[in-house]
Every structure is written in C-alpha cells, then in structure tokens.
Amino acid sequence: MKKIFLWEPSFESANKSDFINDVVNYLFKEKLICNREKIEDAINYREKLNNTIIDHNLAAPHIQNANVKQAILLFIKLRPGEYIKDWSENNIKVDRFIFTLIPEKCRLQDLQSLKNFYIHLSKENVIRLFCQGERTKIRDLLLREEDWL
C-alpha cells in the first residue's frame, strides 16, 4: 500500500471538482493510477452519492477502481485559511482529507491495513489528531502501521 502525506500542497483549487482534478493529476504524475478521467469520474460520482465528511473539517473520499495500480492512503491538509468552498455540510468547512483508493484486485494485506487504519481512526483521540493535529504527529501516525493495531 502506498501512503502519501501532503501538508499544505500548492493546489490552486477553489471548488470540489477542481480539487479532485488536482489530486488525480498528482496521482497520475506519481504513476499510481492508469486513467485520470476514469478515476476523477469515480471520485466525483462517489461524492454525488453522499458527502464524505466524517468529522469537523475532515473528509474521507474513497473509491475502488480497476485504474488504481495499488492501494493508496493519501492525507492532504490545505494551507491555513484555505477550504474547498463546495465541500461542506452544515457550515462545516473542510481543509483536511484522507483519500482512499483501492484497486479492483487488492492484496489482502493492504485491505487488512486499511481496515486497521479506519478502526484506529474511529477512536476519539485519533480522529481529533487528523482534524486538528500538527504535521509531524499526523505524518508519523499515518506512516507507522504498527500504531494502527
């Protein structure tokens, strides 16, 4: 599984579809996906089904798609004062994201790791860290799977 940590990247997106486009372009440049358009369409479709906001200022967009080369867990924290204007619900502004992309045929070990991550994320202190925590603590937790157990 590929774990990626982007703290205050220079994405210039103001709305959800532009932001998703920026994320997909990043993943394509990193050679983690095969087809930009199909991944972008899949994420946008998933978002239209239901908003993926899971807590104050944190969303967890997720898809399973044949154009994903390997399981991906991508954390993004936008620059201070930046929010995706139309990625909100009940006045909750989102500036942190955990993207999960899973290939159609995913290694069992990766699926177990993702399950462990989301179980760990459900703990109050862990989700607070992802919503409000500082860079090094989030990065360390994201990258060290042994902490997820």
Q: Which two tokens mark 97?
A: 């994201």
Least confident of 69-73, 99-103, 145-149: 145-149
**Strand ranges in 17-61 using DSSP code E only, listed in sequence order:** 53-55, 58-59
Output the CA–CA distances (angstroms, integers) from residue 32 to 45, 66, 86, in the order listed. 20, 12, 27
Q: What is the pTM of this model?
A: 0.94
Residue 119 is classified by DSSP as: H
Q: What is the pLDDT of residues 4-57, one digit of tens each?
A: 999 999 988 888 999 999 999 999 999 999 999 999 999 999 999 998 999 989
Domain 2-105 has CATH 3.40.930.10: yes
